[in-house]
Amino acid sequence: MTVSDRRRGLRFLADRWRVVMRLGVWSILETGQTFLTGFALARALDEGFLTGRPGNGLAWLGVAGLAVLVGAYGTVRVYGAVAGLAEPLRDRLVARVVSRGVREADAGALSGLTQQVEIARDTFAGLVMVSRSFVFTAVGAVVGLVSLDPLLLLVVGPPLAAGLGLFAATLRPLARRQEAFLAADEALADQLGAVCPGLRDITAAGAEERVAATTECRVDAERRAACSLARWGVLRVISLALGGHLPMVLLLACAPWLLDHGVTTGALVGALAYVTQSLLPALHNLVHGMGTSGARLVVVLRRVTREAESGVGAGAGARAGADARAAAETEVRACPGRPPQPPPDHPALSLSSITFAYGPSATPVIDGLDLALPPGAHLAVVGPSGIGKSTLTALIAGLLEPGRGTVRLCGHPVPGPEAAALRVLIPQEAYVFTGTLAENLGLLRADPVPEAEVLAAADAVGLLPLLDALGGPAATVDPAALSDGERQLVALTRAYLSRAPLALLDEATCHLDARAEQRAERAFADRPGGTLVVVAHRISSARRADRVLVLDGRRTAYGTHDELLRRSPSYRDLVDGWTPPPSQPALALRDPDRVDAVAGTGLAGDGGHVVAHGPVGQVQTPRDLRHRGPLGGEG
């Protein structure tokens, strides 16, 4: 605690001296209770039970019991006096926080600091109780020991003073280490809060090692801070043993010497009562309360007052957004420069006898698959839900490694840094961070993307209406304010702007309607030199593709749409299941390929909306991408 902090605390108490005086007056009752706890017991033995006068002994015990009742009444009144100190402290801190929140319109800071204010109020009240209790209890015990026999204080006093001195010496370093631990814990929480929402994107971008290394540093920092705090915490236990337990041992060890020097049996028993029933519990509460809560109170008060006065640090919401953006910019981006030019004599994608199973004894999800795609190809992957379509894209992206076989992108082995720079994966859960729209869209580019290129990409993918509605590329994006479809459009445009020649769309358009999906797929298919692999959300995606891969266990088939209709029963089942809806919906869902965007009954889909997977009722119209719920009548 700094000198200014101590001055501020003393000034706060001086302004409320009446409350402090009232607190002291009621606490005197506890002093009397503590004094009579040992003194009355000693008299009950020496002047009553040990001399054959049980009446006197019972009378002294009755006095001790009455003192307990009076002390309990005083303790009740003490709580009111403590509230007279704690509540003004809370009001003062809240006033500072609210003034800053209103001045800066920072709701996040208001929420975060208000929580810390409540912690400060509760901790301060607890500290006042334990410190006051120890002071008045110690005074009562010391007066009682002197009243019984000064030799008793000679035995109890030195270890008690040594324990208190050791504890006082640990307070400042303990507070520093408590603050370091809280800072490390907050840094780790911020890191995980920024990373966890974008785990799939981080993995898809090949940044696992970089993110893991950064997170490991934060974990190690918190571990070191916790170990340092624990080491200093051991000194608290030593101080408690020295000041609370050692006096009891010394009284017992020195009992013959004390009795030989005139200390009565009752006085010795009374001294033991002072140590075990008063000093030891009071010291225990002081050490644990002041050692932990006191350090936390110093840290919280320092942060609340300094942040409220200086405005340092953003609020919780703004800080989380900035951290998410920083994490995304530094960790999600993998190989942001221009990828290596693919050799013209290699296929864009090559799978050789790929086999993959989730476990050594599990049935293979992909079994002996061979596939070769030339540059510029457009492949749609279809099949029943759970058959392995997403597993295949994960193998191509390098997120999973096959048990047997090889995967190559433009001749480069997967996984590998060269292959990672040649592909971009757009998963179903679109990742958008708090920042400008241009920052989100240019995430996979090392240099700022020219605005003309951003607008062209947005127009090609279908993001332009949202971009205009938000206010242009420089507009700030709040991910929570975007619908699922809008977030997917942002992720699709970001991938479109990347220089990776191979685009993998893993259910990346499941929250778009048929027209928006068609526009996005056409944009990727028309990219110069671009190769597109789509996990088909609708059978119309397969109609648009050059080639179709049907995954259905051992009945895997590959070919054009017309070829598969002739020779693949599984593909025919998928296509035949698509029938015109019983009534024309209010919003036209028929796409230009003359394939209805509504599935028929009996398919392993989602009740009439999709072939593979995707929750029911999440299809959105192009004119209302901000709508979050299901379209009326389509669920």
Asked if 291 and 391 sit in the same domain, the reply is no
Asked if 98 and 49 sit in the same domain, the reply is yes
Asked whether residue 373 carries a pLDDT value surpassing 60, the answer given is yes
Tell me which of 284, 300, 332 is where a domain ends: 332
Least confident residue range of 16-25, 97-106, 295-304, 525-534: 97-106
Per-residue tokens: 504: 């993998």
Is residue 229 a contact partner of residue 178, using CB atoms and an 8 Å limit? yes
Q: What is the pLDDT of residue 104?
A: 52
Q: pLDDT of 166-205, one tens digit each?
A: 988 888 888 788 778 877 887 888 888 878 877 766 765 5
- Element housing 181 (H / E): helix 150-195
**CATH number, position 125:** 1.20.1560.10
Is residue 258 a contact partner of residue 151, using CB atoms and an 8 Å limit? yes
Tell me the HSE value of 154 on the side-chain side, using a 13 A CA sphere: 9
Q: How confident is the model at residue 24 (pLDDT cuts 50, 70, 90)?
A: confident
Question: How large is the average pLDDT for residues 442-454?
Answer: 87
Asked if 314 and 370 sit in the same domain, the reply is no
Give a yes or no: residue 389 inside a domain: yes
Virtual torsion, Cα 144, 148, 151, 153, nearest 10 deg: -10
Asked if 373 and 312 sit in the same domain, the reply is no
Q: How confident is the model at residue 448 (pLDDT cuts 50, 70, 90)?
A: confident
Q: What is the pLDDT of residue 519?
A: 92
Q: pLDDT of 546-571, one tens digit each?
A: 899 998 877 788 888 888 888 888 88
Q: For residue 371, what are the domain limits?
A: 349-576
Asked whether residue 586 carries a pLDDT value surpassing 50, the answer given is no
Asked if 204 and 259 sit in the same domain, the reply is yes
User: What share of the chain has pLDDT > 70, as a percent?
Assistant: 77
Give a yes or no: residue 71 inside a domain: yes
- Element housing 371 (H / E): strand 366-373
Q: Which range is most confident: 73-87, 173-187, 319-333, 366-380?
A: 366-380
Q: How confident is the model at residue 93 (pLDDT cuts 50, 70, 90)?
A: confident
Give a yes or no: residue 416 inside a domain: yes
Q: What is the pLDDT of residue 219?
A: 92
User: How many domains are contained in the chain?
Assistant: 2
Asked if 398 and 429 sit in the same domain, the reply is yes
Asked if 287 and 149 sit in the same domain, the reply is yes
Give a yes or no: residue 631 inside a domain: no
Where would I find the H helices in 407-537?
A: 417-420, 437-441, 451-461, 464-470, 484-497, 514-525
Give a yes or no: residue 630 inside a domain: no
Q: pLDDT of 608-623, one tens digit each?
A: 333 433 333 344 444 4
Least confident residue range of 152-156, 429-433, 577-581: 577-581
User: What share of the chain has pLDDT > 90, as a percent?
Assistant: 17
Asked if 308 and 374 sit in the same domain, the reply is no
Tell me which of 298, 332, 366 is where a domain ends: 332
Give a yes or no: residue 147 inside a domain: yes
Asked whether residue 256 carries a pLDDT value surpassing 90, the answer given is yes
Three-state SS at 343: coil
Tell me which of 551, 576, 601 is where a domain ends: 576
Asked if 538 and 483 sit in the same domain, the reply is yes
**CATH number, position 451:** 3.40.50.300
- Pick the closest to residue 363 from 506, 554, 535, 549 (CA basis): 554
Angle made by CA atoms 147, 151, 152, in degrees to the nearest 5: 70
Higher pLDDT, 437 or 581: 437
- Element housing 230 (H / E): helix 208-240
Alpha carbon of residue 212 to chain centroid: 16
Asked if 285 and 361 sit in the same domain, the reply is no
Give a yes or no: residue 609 inside a domain: no
Asked if 285 and 393 sit in the same domain, the reply is no
Mean pLDDT, rounded, of the chain:
77
Question: How large is the average pLDDT for residues 417-433?
Answer: 84
Virtual torsion, Cα 593, 397, 425, 356, nearest 10 deg: 60
Per-residue tokens: 329: 């910019």
Asked whether residue 633 carries a pLDDT value surpassing 50, the answer given is no
Q: What is the pLDDT of residue 443?
A: 86
Alpha carbon of residue 181 to chain centroid: 16
Tell me the C-alpha distance between 615 and 516, whole Å: 18
Asked if 300 and 378 sit in the same domain, the reply is no
Asked whether residue 13 carries a pLDDT value surpassing 50, the answer given is yes
Q: How confident is the model at residue 306 (pLDDT cuts 50, 70, 90)?
A: low
Q: pLDDT of 385-401, one tens digit each?
A: 888 888 898 899 888 88
Asked whether residue 635 carries a pLDDT value surpassing 50, the answer given is no
Give a yes or no: residue 605 inside a domain: no
Task: Print burial letters for 432-458: b (CB count within 10 Å at least 16), e (below 16).
Answer: bbbbbbbbbbbbbbeeebeeeebbebb
Higher pLDDT, 72 or 606: 72
Q: pLDDT of 478-522, one tens digit each?
A: 888 888 889 999 999 999 988 888 999 988 888 888 899 889 989
Q: What is the pLDDT of residue 150?
A: 92
Q: pLDDT of 44-81, one tens digit each?
A: 998 889 888 999 989 998 988 888 888 888 888 888 78
